[in-house]
Structures are given as structure tokens and as C-alpha cells.
Amino acid sequence: MKSHPIPIIHPLHVPAFKIPEKTILKNQVEILEFSGIVNEISRVDIVFNSGKWNENAPMIANSVAKLFKSGTRLHSAYQLSESIDFLGSTINVFAGYHGFTISIYSMRKNLIKTLTLMMECLNESVFPEDEYENYIKNLRSKQSIREEKTEVIADRVLKNSIFGKYHPYGYESEQDYIDQLSLEEIKNYFQKEVQSQKPTIYISGSFGDEEIKFLEKLFSEETYIPQQENVQHVITPSSNYIQNIKKEKSAQTSIAIGSTSIHKTHEDYAELSLTNTIFGGYFGSRLMSNIREEKGYTYGIYSILQTYRNSGAIFVQTETSHEHTIACIHEIQSEIQKLQEELISDDEMKQARNYLLGKYLGRMDGAFAQMELYKNFQIEGVDIQYFNKFAHTIQNMTKNVVRDMAQKHFNFETMYQITVGN
């Protein structure tokens, strides 16, 4: 049998991030350009510096996003939907923690028409009462279904415990919040935090001078009101670190463990990202290898290092059978201790490093991905040059640093432990 040569495995190289071209309009609106796609698809994201952080009460920003295309002075929700579909376009609206984003996907030939429809929604939305009532009705129905899921309850209680029940980072949808929503508050938020605020515009894919000039025409004549500065939300952590919530007839127990952590601007962020990857951040992690592969306690378990503009958190989440709940929590604690006490192997370090660098390399694959990465860094208030520093740090990180990071940032004794099950 003829043998084939084994291919050479080369170290991953993450290139420096290419800075987009920028146009600043006379009213200080920025247009950032990410070109490079050969097909005829265009994407435009219009981002306002608002989101959940600027709400007066939970779920208002998300409700504005859901009702953005609910009707204008000129067209009903149905007419708007039909017009957008006819163009083969998509207009998605998303309320993040620190950004309210209108995202458009369109064929380049229809981009100007799609932008015109979007601007109609932005400038002429009336939020019809019947559409609002239908939205609330559907929201209550979906929430009733969500409340039956143990993993949803565990996630909500964990975030409530870490940040506080009403903190933007800490709340999830609840029936009480839905009952407290009002159409007047939704309209006020839209006018104050979206319509009146200066956006940042990102365009990627297929576009040219015609599309850029049209964007300049749409936004250059607008007058924007300075946003209220220094909006503050105080973190109010729970004093109850262990909560066992009974859920009758549940097939499994959901486990959620976590605590506050660092965000992207912290000097340890890159090192902790790799440490968390080794711990529970991918399929080959310590948690997966032990609790899924060896013990068979769960189908999947992950640890997430979640970053926000003003904070961060580590979440460990899984589902297991009722009889294995205590053992599963014990193994999570054991894996933390091992990372804190023992140096990992060279192979494990190499595998996790290559995975993380490959993941970050994928975030630069094409104009759409580059725009998404750059946009998210800006929303979190992080200079994109930190992305280049991140790759360099991961490539040169040692096993000793993994142990140091585990000792410094993983403290099982101060982590909240939430279980929801029968």
C-alpha cells in the first residue's frame, strides 16, 4: 500500500486587524467602511450608544427593537414587511447592553431602497396600539413556556444573584417585567435614546460611492441631542451563594455557577481567556473531558467568560440527572483546584491555544466578520488594537501563567451555585 506523507502543521498566524476607512460628517456622524466581498451582498449597521444600559425599567429597549417595524405614518407593519421581502432584504433590530443596532442585509442594487424603508421606520414610527397589544400577548405566551425550562430559571437566578435583579447585566425577561411595560415608556425611549441620538454607521460587503453618498445624505442634515452622561447602575449582589430551586416534574437538574470577573480592558483578559478555554471554553476542555467523557454526568458543559463595557462574569452551566447533581458540582470545583495547583501538559496548552487563535482568526474572515468584530469592540469601549495584542499574548503565554490566572480569577468559594430541578 502506498503511503502518503503526513502534512506539516504550521503555527497559526493572526494578521494585524485592518483599520476601516472613516468618513466624519459635519454633524460628527461617523461612517466606517469594510470592503472586500466580491458578491453583491451589502450590510449596513446603524448603532446608537444606548441599549439596555439607558432603560428606565427592564425590557424597554428590547421592546423598542421588536416593535421597530410595527408601523409608520405611511405604512402598516404588514406593508413594511411585504416591501422589505419584495426587495429580498432583511432589517433586524437588536438592543444590546450598550448598543441599539439596526442591521440591514440587502442586494447592492436594492440597498438604497432598503435604506429608505429603514429611515421611514426610524423617523416615522408610530407604534400602533394594536401591534403593541399583540406583542405583549405573544411575549406573555413565550415567557410562560420559558418559565417551564430549568436552564432558563437557573440562568436568570444566577445573573440576578451576581449583578442584581434590576441591573441591565443581571435581569432576564420575567412576567412581572412584562406586566410593567407601557407603550408610553416605549415611545419615550425610542424618541430619547434612538431618534435623538447620533449613530455610528458601519457598511460592509458590496458598495461604492453611490451608497456612501446616499448614507451621507440621509444622516448629514440630522441634528442630534447630546446624550445624558454618566448613567450609573449599582451592582447589588445577593448574599445567598447557594440556591436550590425546586421544579416539579423536571427531567433533569440545571446547574449554573458563576461570579463577577474582568472585562476586555483588563490587563489579564487575554491570559484569562485562554485559561477559561482550557477549563471549560470548548469541546476539548477539562470540564467536558471529565464530566461528560469520563463521568458521563452530562451531554455538555461549558464555561463562558462574558464581558460587558463596565464589568465581566464567568458562567459555568450544564444539565445533569438529579442523582448526579452534587457529584457534578464537586467535579467542577475539583477542576478549578487542579488548574490552580498543577501545570497543564504541553499538548493541552498547544491544543487550547490553537483553538482560541483559530476562533479569533475566524472573526477576521471576510468584511462582514471584520465589521462585526470592530463594531463590538467599539460598543464595549475597547480599542481594536487590543485585538492584535490579544493574539500576541496568547501565542507567547506559558503554562505557569495559566496556573496564575486560575489562582487569581477562579475562586469557587465566592461563586454562586444555582440548581433548578426536582
Residues 6 or more apart in contact with residue 103 via CB below 8 angstroms:
43, 44, 45, 46, 90, 91, 92, 93, 94
Which pTM does this prediction carry? Answer: 0.91
Residues 6 or more apart in contact with residue 345 via CB below 8 angstroms:
none
pLDDT at 383: 87
Left, alpha or beta for 95 (phi > 0: left; psi -120 to 50: alpha)? Answer: beta
pLDDT at 123: 95
The tens place of each residue's pLDDT in the chain, 422 residues long, gives 556 666 666 666 667 778 889 999 999 999 999 987 768 999 999 999 999 999 999 999 999 999 999 999 999 999 999 999 999 999 999 999 999 999 999 999 999 999 999 999 999 999 999 999 999 999 999 999 999 999 999 999 999 999 999 999 999 999 999 999 999 999 999 999 999 999 999 999 999 999 999 999 999 988 888 776 678 899 999 999 999 999 988 999 999 999 999 999 999 999 999 999 999 999 999 999 999 999 999 999 999 999 999 999 999 999 999 999 999 999 999 999 999 999 999 999 999 999 998 888 888 888 898 999 999 999 998 888 888 888 889 999 999 999 999 999 999 999 999 999 98
* Cα–Cα distance for residue pair 130/289, rounded to 1 Å: 52
How far from chain centre, in Å, is Cα 104?
18
pLDDT at 10: 63
CB atoms within 10 A of CB 273: 22
Q: Nearest-CA neighbor of 125 among 80, 72, 79, 75?
A: 72
Left, alpha or beta for 104 (phi > 0: left; psi -120 to 50: alpha)? Answer: beta
Q: What are the two backbone dihedrals, phi and then psi, of residue 312, each rounded to the nearest 5 degrees?
A: -160, 170
pLDDT at 116: 97
Residues 6 or more apart in contact with residue 14 via CB below 8 angstroms:
357, 360, 361, 364, 388, 391, 395
pLDDT at 3: 61
* Cα–Cα distance for residue pair 380/400, rounded to 1 Å: 29
